[in-house]
A and B are shown apart, each in its own frame.
Chain A
Amino acid sequence: MVPPKDTLLSIKNLRTYFNVKEGLAKAVDGVSYNINNGETLGLVGESGCGKTVSALSILKLLDIPPAEFHSGQILFKDQDLLQMTEQELNSIRGRLISMIFQEPMTSLNPVLSIGFQIDEVMINHLSINAKEARDRTIELLNMVGIPLPQKRAKEYPHQLSGGMRQRIMIALAVACDPELLIADEPTTALDVTIQAQILDIMLSLQETFNTSILLITHDLGVIAETADRVAVMYAGKIVEEADVKTIFQNPLHPYTRGLLNSVPKINKIDSANRLHEIPGMVPNLCYLPEGCSFFNRCPVRKKICQSGKPKLLNIENNHNVRCWIVQDSV
C-alpha cells in the first residue's frame, strides 16, 4: 500500500529485538505509525515500553548486536531507512531527520565549543563555509533565546545551565531545517518554568518551518499541550492510537484510562480521594504474559484476554485500540 501523499514517515510492523542474557527482549514488537507533514505525534508510555528504542531505530542509532532488526520497514519519503547503507544514512541524520536527546548534560561534546558543534553540522551537510556557518549559528542561538549568542558560541557545555544546554540541543537539531524532529523526553530533566520555555520554542519553530515532530514522553500534560495525535505504548506494542482530544476525552484501552486517572490534575484538585493506581508493574520484556501483555494489571480482564494476543483494530474513525474487551463490546 502506498502511504497517502502527506505522510512523511511511515513505520510498518517494526520489530527491534535485543539479545540479552535472559533471552530475547522484544523491545519493539510490531509497531506501526505514520507521521504526516507538519504534525506532532506524541508517543507515550512508561520506562521500558520501547518508545525510545522505536525512535532510535528510525536513525539506526542502536548497536547491532545486541540489537537486531527482526522485521519491518521504516519509510521516510517512501525510502526504506532500514535498507540504507551507513553512508546514505549519514546524509539523512542531522540533515533531514534530527534528534533531541533526553539528557542535555551528556549529549553535547564537553571538549568542543558550542559554536563549533553547531557549525560542524552545517558545514558537513549544507556545503557552506566556516564564516557562513558561524553567522547562521549565531542566528540560531538567538532564535532559541540564548542571550549574548556571540559570546556563548565560544563557550563550552559545562558553562551553561541545563535549560541552556537543551536550547543548544534544539539549535543543533534544527540547524539544517530538518523535515522530521525526534524529541526524546526533551524536557524531562528540566524544571517546569524552563520546560514551558523549551516547549514554546519547539512549537514556534514547528510553525515557522513546518517541521514534523515525534515527541516521546511519559508526561501526559506535555502531550496534551503539544501533540496532534497520540500513540500509547505498552510492553513493545502500541495499545491505543487516536487524535489528542479523543485520547483524553474518550480513552478506551484500560491502560490509557489507568494512566490518565493516575496523574493528579492541577486544574481539578481532589485531594480527598485516592489517586487511581495501576496495580503491579511493567512486565519484564523477556517474560511477557500469555495473551494480552497488560493482562496481569488490567482491572477489566476476562477469560478471553488470555486466549491470544489482541490486534490493534480501528474502533471508530482513526481510533485504534488493542484490547479484547473493547473490541468485543463494539
Chain B
Amino acid sequence: MSEELLEIKNLKKFFPVKSGFFFKAKDHVHAVDGVSLSVKPGHTLGLVGESGCGKTTTGKTILKLIEPTDGQIFFQGENITGYTRPKMKKVRRQMQMIFQDPFSSLNPRHTIGSILASPLEIHGLADDKNMEDKITGLLKKVGLSSEAMRRYPHEFSGGQRQRIGIARALALYPELIIADEPVSALDVSIQAQIINLMKDLQEELGLAYIIIAHDLSIISHISDEVAVMYLGKIVEKALSADFYAEPLHPYSKALISAVPVPDPEFKKKRVILKGDVPSPINPPSGCRFHPRCPYRFEPCDKQEPSLKPIGKENRFVACHLKF
C-alpha cells in the first residue's frame, strides 16, 4: 500500500437537499457514493464521466475542500480523513489543484506576482529577498516572461491564465496535482499547448496527476489509468491502453462511441444512449445504469453489481455481464 501516493477507500459525499419550513434535510444528493481509487507517484489517473456524475466532487473531497461523508483518504500512507485544518495545511503543500475556469479562478484585483506569492508566503517558502526570483522561475517553467508578474489577470488570454493557474499549483512543488477540466474552456490549438506543458512538467518534476475531464480524447493522450464514473460510482477502471482498446462496461462503450472522430473515413458502430442521466437524489435501484443500458437483463434492476477484477491486471468492471 505504501507504494501508492494517494489511496481513497469507499469515499462518500452526500449533499442534503433542504426544503420545507425549517429547512430540514429531506433527501440527499448521492454525489459520490463509495469511490475507491489510487494513484502512484509520477502517474496520471484520468477520471471521466458526464456532467453531474460526481467527478469534480471526488476531486474536491480528496483535497478536503469538501468534507467527506464517509470513507477514508490515505496520502503517502497517512490517513488524512480526520485531519483538522492546521494539519491539513501541511498536506495541501503536497496536493494542489488546477481549476476548470481560468477566468474565475484568479483574483482580478491581484497582480500575477501577488497571486503566485501567496502560496509561498503562507507556507513560508520564500522571503522578500528571493520571492521575485522564485516567481520568475515559476513563470518561466510555464512559458511566461517575468514581466507578467506586474500585470493583472484580465490582461491575459485564456491559455495564458491557465498557465498561471498551473504555475500557482506548482509553486509549492507538490507531489500530486488534481486538475479539474484543465483544458475544456480553451481553444483547440491552445489545449494542445497546455496538455504538452502538463506532460513536460510531469517528466521534469515527477508529478502525479488526477485529471478530471469529460473529453475522452484528451484523457487518452495523457493518462496511464482511466476510471469511468456514472452517478457517483466507478463503473470501470483500467490501464489506459486496455481501456481504449476495448472498453468493457456498456456505459464506457457508449461513452467512447459517442466521441466524434476527426476522420470522415472512420466508420464506427455508434451506441446512442436513450435519455438523460437520472437524478442522483433517488438513483435507480440495482445497477444505476440499467434504465439506459442496451444490454440489461434479469438481475440488473435488483442487484447492484460490485467493482470486480476482470481478466487483465488492474482491470475492474462493475457489471453483471460476463466478460
Segment touching A, from B34-42, B170-178, B182-190: B182-190
B240 within 8 A of A: yes
B192 within 8 A of A: yes
Q: Closest Cβ of chain B: how far from A166's Cβ, in Å? A: 11
Q: Closest Cβ of chain A: how far from B101's Cβ, in Å? A: 14
Beyond known contacts A196-B257, A271-B221, A277-B196: 10 more, CB 8 A cutoff:
A163-B276, A194-B50, A196-B270, A220-B188, A224-B261, A244-B264, A258-B189, A263-B191, A274-B199, A275-B192
Interface readout for B273-304 with A: 1 if CB under 8 Å, 0 if not? 10111000000000000000000000000000
Interface readout for B238-255 with A: 1 if CB under 8 Å, 0 if not? 001100100000000011
A282 within 8 A of B: yes
* A contact residues around B276 at 8 Å (CB): 161, 163-164, 194
**A279 CA to B143 CA in the complex, in Å?**
11
Name the residue of chain A whose CB is nearest to the CB of B44: A271
Interface size class on chain A is: 35 or more
Q: Given A221-B261, A245-B265, A264 and B187 touching (CB < 8 A)? A: no
B187, B218, B241 — which one has the most chain A CB atoms within 10 A of its CB? B187
Determine whether the beta carbon of B159 is less than 8 Å from that of A265.
Answer: no
**A197 CA to B50 CA in the complex, in Å?**
14
Determine whether the beta carbon of B214 is less than 8 Å from that of A192.
Answer: yes
**A196 CA to B159 CA in the complex, in Å?**
28
**A259 CA to B190 CA in the complex, in Å?**
10
Number of interface residues of B (CB under 8 A): 45
A317 within 8 A of B: no
Q: Closest Cβ of chain B: how far from A100's Cβ, in Å? A: 17
Within 8 A of B (CB), among A237-261: 244-245, 248-249, 258-260
Determine whether the beta carbon of B196 is less than 8 Å from that of A281.
Answer: no
Name the residue of chain A whose CB is nearest to the CB of B244: A269
Q: Closest Cβ of chain A: how far from B88's Cβ, in Å? A: 33
A47 within 8 A of B: yes
B258 within 8 A of A: yes
B263 within 8 A of A: yes
A153 within 8 A of B: no
Determine whether the beta carbon of A277 is less than 8 Å from that of B263.
Answer: no
Between A and B, 27 residue pairs with Cβ closer than 8 Å are A191-B277, A194-B50, A196-B257, A196-B258, A196-B260, A196-B273, A199-B260, A218-B188, A221-B260, A222-B260, A224-B262, A245-B264, A260-B262, A262-B192, A263-B188, A263-B192, A265-B217, A266-B261, A267-B261, A267-B263, A269-B244, A271-B220, A274-B199, A277-B189, A277-B192, A278-B193, A282-B187
Determine whether the beta carbon of A266 is less than 8 Å from that of B256.
Answer: yes
Determine whether the beta carbon of B159 is less than 8 Å from that of A225.
Answer: no
**A133 CA to B126 CA in the complex, in Å?**
70
Q: Closest Cβ of chain A: how far from B223's Cβ, in Å? A: 8
* A contact residues around B145 at 8 Å (CB): none
* B contact residues around A46 at 8 Å (CB): 187-190
Residues of A within 8 A of B (CB): 46-47, 147, 161-164, 191-197, 199-200, 218-225, 244-245, 248-249, 258-260, 262-267, 269-271, 274-279, 281-282
Contact of B263 among A194, A219, A265, A279 (CB under 8 A): A265
Q: Closest Cβ of chain A: how far from B188's Cβ, in Å? A: 6
* B contact residues around A218 at 8 Å (CB): 187-188
* A contact residues around B266 at 8 Å (CB): 224, 267
Q: Closest Cβ of chain B: how far from A57's Cβ, in Å? A: 22
* B contact residues around A200 at 8 Å (CB): 272
Contact of B196 among A147, A244, A275 (CB under 8 A): A275
Name the residue of chain A whose CB is nearest to the CB of B268: A267
**A271 CA to B214 CA in the complex, in Å?**
18
Determine whether the beta carbon of B244 is less than 8 Å from that of A47.
Answer: no
Q: Given A192-B216, A264-B218, A265-B217, A221 and B259 touching (CB < 8 A)? A: yes
